[in-house]
Structure 1
Amino acid sequence: MKRFLLIALLLVAGCGGTEIVREPGVEVSGAPTAAPLQGAPVPDGAVRIAVVTHGPASSKFWAIIRNGVDSAARRLDVLVDYKSPDVFSVERMSELIDQAVATKPDGLVVSIPAPGLAPAIRRAVDAGIPVISINSGSDVFRSLGVLVHVGQVEDRAGLEAGRRLADAGVRQALCVNQERDNTGTDARCAGLAKAMREVGGRSRVLHIDDEDPRTPSEIATAVAADGVDGVLATNSIGGLAAAQGVAGQPVKVGTFDLGPDVLKAVEAGKLLFAVDQQPYLQGYLPIEMLALRARYGILPAQHDVVATGPNFVTRDNAAQALELSERSIR
């Protein structure tokens, strides 16, 4: 087998990190069994995929997605250009999508956290670029012409998480949401509200700044004021803040997303559960799908959700998840 040279180029831009990764793919003898959907097959090593997400480079959660992207790029011999804003910005994301489209990649991977991204995504689709969405956007991707969504259906995930809290006796719930106007986190809170209504309970939303050191006390104040007996956080930082804020009280806390600190809190019984949407798969699978489409014209059923979650980590299975979390896989 031929020896290949790993080429990794890291560029730093004001909008966040951009990385192009190239490593060996698998050599296959014989002709491909299917022709691409448009034009001639793209040879191995020549596939270019652009990725634009709303997750900042500093996020541990998005680092796992990035790890999945880079792993797929290495294994499949794909050039990947990954960009994200330094802070959440629909306007900047739209600019990054337009810039990616101008380079005419063989595929585009995007997250869709807000309706304001629709025009930029439609421009990509109209330009003939295959688009796959990840993480946020399960409720809108079909209407935008996106081929597949890889992630979890957020309202369903919120509903299942809420039912777990209800089974633990929760009837007055607080949804701690760190990202105002994010349709994905809003849907999680809506799912929790539905679960509470099913058992005659209720819920309300508390918007937080998950980088503010006062957040645990703000959560504690909201819990005391409303007689809350259960909290669901829409991200791991909020979950840890909630666990800290209600420590010593008979309040059940669940959270979305993992991380070593979250999993240790689950093991210790400080968190009832953590929802794992498997972000590594959200990074890996779209690169694999778009590479196969570019080379052979094959793709899973279009306009479907490839569900990566929800999966629940509890005290029973936290140890195994912790080992993978420390490797940026879970």
Structure 2
Amino acid sequence: MKATRYSRLLKALTLVTLLAAGSAQAAERYVFISHAPDSDSWWSVVRNSLKGAAEDFKVSVDYRNPPTGDLADMARLIEQAAAQNYDGVVTTIADFNVLQGAIQKITDKHIPLITANSGTAEQSDKLGAIMHVGQEEYAAGFGAGERAKQDGVKSFVCVNHYATNPASFERCRGFGDALGVDFKTSTIDTGIDPAQIEAMTSAYLRRNPGTQAIFTLGPVSAQGALQAVKKMDLKGKIYFATMDLSNEISRGIKDGTIAFAVDQQPYLQGYIPIAIMAIMKQSGNTDLAAATAAFKANPVVKKRLEGYGLNPIYGPRNISSGPGFVTRDNIQKVERYSGQYR
């Protein structure tokens, strides 16, 4: 009798151990691969969003990026992800031509793919992605240019700190088109060193004293350009617009140096792709419309996004995270979560 009880207990314990091991092995693994160098602080919000998605959907999420922003390194990271057999991959489309071959290794293995941040919906579709989550670069630049034009701006310099990413030029082109200006003659390739950005911005403004506006593409270029404005005593004398947010940009908006920042809600760009793939995997239903509906109805998702004032724009296939505009009128609301959720 004792032997029978012991045998049953042993079997039960073995079953529990096997179930626990199976559960651990079954936990989904996802990876987000960006083009950003380590020096770009803007991506801290995306990384924070991946932690939120992992927590909400009980999955594991890795973040990978090329330390210097080298796109050949990024392509290798994508190839490595294919070899590691993740349950899903999210990647930016920093350069369609450079990354296309590496991304095909993902889709050839039938690993679910979602694109985010840079690139276009059309490129995403060509790559075989489920969907694209982000802000259309040209539209964001054009919207910023329209706003500047309404304020009387007719000329500008686009301070591009990441010219190795072709998508970055779409922001400059959009801004220029809205003003009716050739962006090629109004764009400087500064690199990511703040001192160099400051020096090159100052040099351009000295050579072109009639320049009415500065348009920066994010916190990296904004930092150096703001120093140029300060040292040249141009605060209030030159129109300043920027993409994205940081603590320094928020201060610039509040003190009147910066007219506005374009907010592409980066938290959504990390959180939504992981959530959508997790919903598909866990439900066993790969229909995008059903997954999107489940995402929108999920009370945990609602609480998280509404809690931080995040508002995705849902399309039939893709989800837009922006653009929105941050000005002195709404900066108090937005800066409360700047660097973490906005």
The structure whose residues are more often helix, as a share, is 2
Whole-angstrom CA distance in 1 between matches of 2:106 and 2:221: 34
5 Å-filtered alignment, 1:168-317, equals: 168-197=151-180, 201-203=181-183, 204-226=186-208, 227-247=210-230, 248-249=233-234, 250-296=237-283, 297=285, 298-300=287-289, 304-317=317-330
Amino acid at match of 1:210: I
Verify the 8 A CA contact 2:288 2:317 in the aligned structure 1. Answer: no
5 Å-filtered alignment, 1:33-72, equals: 46-72=27-53
Distance 1:244 1:58, change over 3 A: closer
Gap runs ≥5 in structure 1: 1-41
Whole-angstrom CA distance in 2 between matches of 1:105 and 1:134: 17
CA distances 1:122-150 after superposition (whole Å, capped 9, x unpaired)? 22112101100111112521111111111
Verify the 8 A CA contact 1:162 1:191 in the aligned structure 2. Answer: yes
Task: Give the deviation of 1:243 after TM superposition.
Answer: 2.8
**SS across alignment from 1:241:** helix
Task: Give the deviation of 1:91 after TM superposition.
Answer: 1.5
The structure whose residues are more often strand, as a share, is 1
Amino acid at match of 2:242: T
* Match for residue 119 of structure 1 among 92, 101, 126: 101
Which of 1 and 2 has higher RCO (CA within 8 Å, sep 6+)? 1
Whole-angstrom CA distance in 1 between matches of 2:69 and 2:255: 33
Gap runs ≥5 in structure 2: 1-22, 293-314
Whole-angstrom CA distance in 2 between matches of 1:137 and 1:75: 27
1:73 aligns with 2:54: yes
Task: Give the deviation of 1:202 after TM superposition.
Answer: 4.8
Whole-angstrom CA distance in 1 between matches of 2:81 and 2:50: 16
CA distances 1:105-163 after superposition (whole Å, capped 9, x unpaired)? 21110011012001111221121011001111125211111111111000000000011
Task: Give the deviation of 1:166 after TM superposition.
Answer: 1.0
Verify the 8 A CA contact 2:265 2:322 in the aligned structure 1. Answer: yes
**SS across alignment from 2:152:** coil
CA distances 1:238-276 after superposition (whole Å, capped 9, x unpaired)? 123223313433210100010111111101101010111
1:154 aligns with 2:142: no
Task: Give the deviation of 1:43 after TM superposition.
Answer: 10
Comparing 156-165 with 81-90, greater Cα deviation is found at 81-90
Task: Give the deviation of 1:57 after TM superposition.
Answer: 3.7
CA distances 1:187-227 after superposition (whole Å, capped 9, x unpaired)? 10110111111xxx554111112324142232122123222
Task: Give the deviation of 1:48 after TM superposition.
Answer: 1.6
The percentage of counterpart residues that share the same residue type is 32
TM-score by length of 1: 0.81
Whole-angstrom CA distance in 2 between matches of 1:44 and 1:325: 36
Whole-angstrom CA distance in 2 between matches of 1:238 and 1:149: 26
1:329 aligns with 2:335: no
Distance 1:303 1:120, change over 3 A: farther
Amino acid at match of 2:238: V
Whole-angstrom CA distance in 1 between matches of 2:166 and 2:127: 15
CA distances 1:31-70 after superposition (whole Å, capped 9, x unpaired)? xxxxxxxxxxx99962221221112344321111000011
Verify the 8 A CA contact 2:192 2:220 in the aligned structure 1. Answer: yes
Cα-Cα RMSD: 2.1
Amino acid at match of 1:299: L
Distance 1:124 1:303, change over 3 A: farther
Whole-angstrom CA distance in 1 between matches of 2:194 and 2:215: 18
Verify the 8 A CA contact 1:276 1:312 in the aligned structure 2. Answer: yes
* Match for residue 136 of structure 1 among 109, 118, 123: 118
Distance 1:45 1:63, change over 3 A: farther
